[in-house]
Amino acid sequence: MSQYAPSVGIVSLGCAKALVDSERILTRLRAEGYGISPSYEGADVVIVNTCGFLDSARAESLDAIGEALAANGKVIVTGCMGVDETAIRQTHPNVLAVTGPHQYEAVIGAVHAAVPPVDDPHQSLVPPEGLRLTPRHYAYLKISEGCDHSCSFCIIPSLRGPLVSRPAQDIVDEASRLAQAGVKELLVISQDTGAYGQDLTRGGGQPPPILSLAEQLGDLGLWIRLHYVYPYPWVDRLIPMMTAGKLLPYLDVPFQHASPSVLRSMRRPADHDKLLDRIARWRDACPDLTLRSTFIVGFPGETERDFEFLLGWLERAKLDRVGCFKYENVAGAAANSLPGHVDEEVKEERFNRLTELARQVTNDKMQTKLGGSIQVLIDEVDEDGAIGRSMADSPEVDGEVYIEDATGLTPGDLITAKVFAAEDYDLWAERTPDATNR
């Protein structure tokens, strides 16, 4: 007689790195025979993987915990906000357990205490590539944890500790398993992707390990997309791999600001003229390069002049994709005590001006794609057509490509299409007769 298999629900908040943590927890629980419930009601216990980065994210995490408690009653809290157990228990004293980020063992232990596993784990329930919360054709690949920088607005180093890189062979093995399972695109993430391996080779004088890791991933023949690449000098050496088609011609570099005084207060490198030169060289070497970045407006001490400097820099840099955030205090961050906090209305006004400029720049660049041929990775198909992404679009954060005739297409297909319309971040394209599905 088969035993009743207990079931676990999970709510995953925050960034892609937290999503990977959730996937690891689920994979392990599934391997132990637990079922995964899509609803609170059907679960024996619910895990809430929280985000603790901004105050607004902490509030969202507390709401999610409250919702899970009301609907289910048995709740285990993990993730970045888990480091502040006092704050969580002040609002929700009845949670079963609170653990911090990537404390997988502690989460599994708390699940065991709440709902013991069945005696006979069904290993076959877990595919070799693990369980994923993303669609079947793309996956996040986390290559390291932690960060050695000390940006004044960020508490990641105190939450997650210094840089700890995964061994390259582990990463390449995981990427190969994902490729065998049908993944077409790998999104390489970490807190600091360009720094990968610096902890493994300290003082050794070897080439930066991100270069050989990128080469090895590039040999898999997938779309390899790099996120969160701090602009170290050796990042220049990734560009030829993009030109050669080993990596997607896409680079996500979080610049955060351009004004030297704001960057100094942020404790980040402050030579944005040199960066403009580097961007120009990257584009010369790889004309299809898509540059994505994020910026913070309203940082403490940011004057109107600093902000206009940033706008001027953006006009010259002509980044392809720009994300913008209004500065918020983060509990425990050094920036909280800086002088010159900016009024909310001013932040809002600067946010609107920057996003409008970024929209115009992106829109102008998108118009240059009209009539061109692009490869599109199909994400969704329904009766109205298909939605996919070009090499220039990362899932969730960038634009989409709409294809009207979806006959015979399924998610994960890679097709060639001709662009006939463009607006803001999105493109409309028709399949070319020799469209190649894979």
Query: How large is the greatest C-alpha to C-alpha distance in the chain, in angstroms?
Result: 74
CB 323 within 8 A of CB 294: yes
Q: Other CB atoms closer than 10 Å to residue 221's CB: what's the count?
A: 11
154 interacts with ligand SF4 by CB under 6 A: yes
Stretch that binds ligand SF4, among 29-37, 113-121, 123-131, 143-151 (CB under 6 A): 143-151
Residue list 220-279, contact with ligand SF4 (CB under 6 A): 230
From the centroid of its chain, how far is CA 121? 32
Q: How far apart are CA 186 and CA 169, in angstroms?
A: 16
151 interacts with ligand SF4 by CB under 6 A: yes
Q: 222 vs 291, which CB is nearer to ligand SF4?
A: 291
Nearest approach, Cβ of 229 to ligand SF4 (angstroms)?
Answer: 11
Stretch that binds ligand SF4, among 104-112, 134-142, 147-155, 376-384 (CB under 6 A): 147-155
Q: 150 vs 206, which CB is nearer to ligand SF4?
A: 150
Residue list 53-82, contact with ligand SF4 (CB under 6 A): none
Q: What residue has token string 């050669």?
A: 244
Q: What's 308's DSSP letter?
A: H
Q: What's 171's DSSP letter?
A: H
Size of interface with ligand SF4, in residues (CB under 6 A): 10
Q: How far apart are CA 54 and CA 394, in angstroms?
A: 23
Stretch that binds ligand SF4, among 68-76, 98-106, 142-150, 197-205 (CB under 6 A): 142-150
109 interacts with ligand SF4 by CB under 6 A: no
Residues in a beta bridge with 375: 416
Q: 35 vs 157, which CB is nearer to ligand SF4?
A: 157
Nearest approach, Cβ of 346 to ligand SF4 (angstroms)?
Answer: 23
CB 65 within 8 A of CB 85: no
Let me know the angle formed at the C-alpha of 349 by 367 and 15, rounded to the nearest 5 degrees.
70
Query: Which one of 131, 147, 291, 342 is in contact with ligand SF4 (CB under 6 A)?
Result: 147
Assigned token pair, 101: 């980020």
Query: Which one of 10, 81, 156, 330 is in contact with ligand SF4 (CB under 6 A)?
Result: 156
Q: 257 vs 431, which CB is nearer to ligand SF4?
A: 257
**Beta-sheet strands, E only, within 302-391:** 321-326, 373-382, 385-389
What does R_g of the chain's alpha carbons equal in angstroms?
A: 23
Nearest approach, Cβ of 233 to ligand SF4 (angstroms)?
Answer: 16
From the centroid of its chain, how far is CA 298? 23
Residue list 175-204, contact with ligand SF4 (CB under 6 A): 191-192
Q: 32 vs 192, which CB is nearer to ligand SF4?
A: 192
Stretch that binds ligand SF4, among 88-96, 154-162, 196-204, 422-430 (CB under 6 A): 154-162
Nearest approach, Cβ of 152 to ligand SF4 (angstroms)?
Answer: 9
CA nearest neighbour of 229 among 292, 318, 296, 308: 292
Q: 129 vs 302, which CB is nearer to ligand SF4?
A: 302
Q: How far apart are CA 104 and CA 416, in angstroms?
A: 42
Which contiguous run of DSSP H or E holds residue 144? Answer: strand 144-145
Q: 103 vs 256, which CB is nearer to ligand SF4?
A: 256
Q: 97 vs 266, which CB is nearer to ligand SF4?
A: 266
Q: Is 382 exposed, middle or buried (0-12, 13-18, 19+ CB in 10 A)?
A: exposed
Q: Note the residues at the interface with ligand SF4 (CB under 6 A).
A: 147, 149-151, 154, 156-157, 191-192, 230
